[in-house]
């Protein structure tokens, strides 16, 4: 009987040792898979910048694309507030409602700031017309506000281009957006 008990106790550590090896092996495989995925993501992320540069080169030309890349990589963004806030009436079904919006424009080109100041009356007029032409249901969602932002950027660029001024506006931000 003592011999049988010794055999049982010696067999249990062997089984748990075998199980431990399996667990370690599975963990090692999972770590290797994780490393492979990480390396793949890292290698794939470098291509996005090259695609952006290639797209910029096709649209703008080589010299202008290099200037854009230089400004984006080394430039400091310049935020230009369009003060005072825009207040516009618009129709909300049978009610008359209004929207009050504070806007800031972001660029990397310091000459855009001066051109915006010079042509501010025209820019403000066009943005007021754009805001006044909207319906409540068009701009009360996040997607609607993003679309409005893109439309406002296009409108500002159009005004500056027609004036022959620099129009390299990168983004437009609503710093306050009140609808009533």
pTM above 0.85, yes or no: no
If asked whether residues 51 and 95 sit together in one domain, one would say no
For residue 74, what pLDDT band results from cuts at 50, 70 and 90?
low
Split into its structural domains, the chain has a count of 2
Long-range CB pairs of 151-158, under 8 A, 24+ apart, other chains included:
152/103, 152/127, 155/123, 155/126, 155/127, 155/130, 156/105, 156/116, 156/123, 156/126, 156/127, 158/126
If asked whether residues 31 and 90 sit together in one domain, one would say no
If asked whether residues 32 and 56 sit together in one domain, one would say yes
What angle, 0 to 180 degrees and rounded to 10, lies between the N-to-C axes of helices 110-118 and 120-132?
80
Contact residues for 180 (Cβ-Cβ < 8 A; gap 6+):
97, 98, 99
For residue 106, what pLDDT band results from cuts at 50, 70 and 90?
very high
For residue 28, what pLDDT band results from cuts at 50, 70 and 90?
confident
The rounded mean pLDDT for the chain is: 80
Contact residues for 45 (Cβ-Cβ < 8 A; gap 6+):
none
Q: How many beta carbons lie within 10 A of that of residue 105, not counting itself?
A: 21
Higher-confidence position of 12 and 175: 175
Instruction: Using the 3D structure, point to which of 38, 72, 106 is the last residue of a domain.
Output: 72
Instruction: Using the 3D structure, point to which of 14, 42, 72 is the last residue of a domain.
Output: 72
pLDDT at res. 63: 58
Handedness of CA 57, 59, 61, 63 (dihedral sign): negative
If asked whether residues 41 and 84 sit together in one domain, one would say no
If asked whether residues 91 and 174 sit together in one domain, one would say yes
Is 104 a residue whose pLDDT tops 90? Answer: yes
If asked whether residues 13 and 58 sit together in one domain, one would say yes
If asked whether residues 61 and 81 sit together in one domain, one would say no
If asked whether residues 95 and 173 sit together in one domain, one would say yes
- CA atoms of 25 and 20, how far apart (whole Å): 9
SS3 78: strand
Residues 112, 167: contact at Cβ < 8 Å? yes
Nearest residue to 174 via CA among 72, 119, 100? 100
If asked whether residues 83 and 171 sit together in one domain, one would say yes
Nearest residue to 119 via CA among 129, 130, 111? 111
What's the CATH code of the domain at 140?
Answer: 3.30.479.30
If asked whether residues 8 and 68 sit together in one domain, one would say yes
Q: What is the pLDDT of residues 117-147, one digit of tens each?
A: 999 999 999 999 998 888 888 888 899 999 9
For residue 176, what pLDDT band results from cuts at 50, 70 and 90?
very high
If asked whether residues 168 and 96 sit together in one domain, one would say yes
Instruction: Using the 3D structure, point to which of 45, 72, 99 is the last residue of a domain.
Output: 72
If asked whether residues 61 and 133 sit together in one domain, one would say no
H/E run at residue 172: strand 169-179
Range of the domain at 157: 77-179
């Amino acid at each position: 009987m003592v011999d049988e008990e010794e055999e049982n106790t010696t067999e249990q550590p062997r089984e748990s040792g075998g199980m431990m090896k399996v667990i370690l092996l599975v963990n090692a495989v999972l770590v290797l898979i994780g490393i492979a995925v990480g390396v793949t993501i890292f290698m794939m992320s470098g291509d996005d910048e090259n695609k952006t540069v290639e797209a910029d080169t096709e649209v703008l030309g080589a010299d202008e694309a290099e200037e854009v890349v230089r400004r984006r990589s080394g430039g400091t963004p310049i935020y230009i507030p369009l003060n005072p806030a825009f207040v516009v009436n618009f129709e909300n079904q049978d009610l008359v409602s209004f929207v009050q919006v504070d806007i800031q424009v972001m660029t990397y080109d310091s000459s855009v700031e001066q051109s915006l100041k010079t042509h501010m009356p025209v820019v403000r007029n066009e943005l007021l017309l754009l805001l006044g032409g909207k319906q409540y249901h068009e701009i009360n969602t996040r997607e609607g506000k993003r679309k409005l932002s893109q439309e406002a950027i296009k409108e500002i660029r159009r005004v500056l281009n027609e004036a022959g001024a620099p129009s390299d506006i990168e983004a437009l931000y609503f710093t306050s957006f009140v609808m009533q």
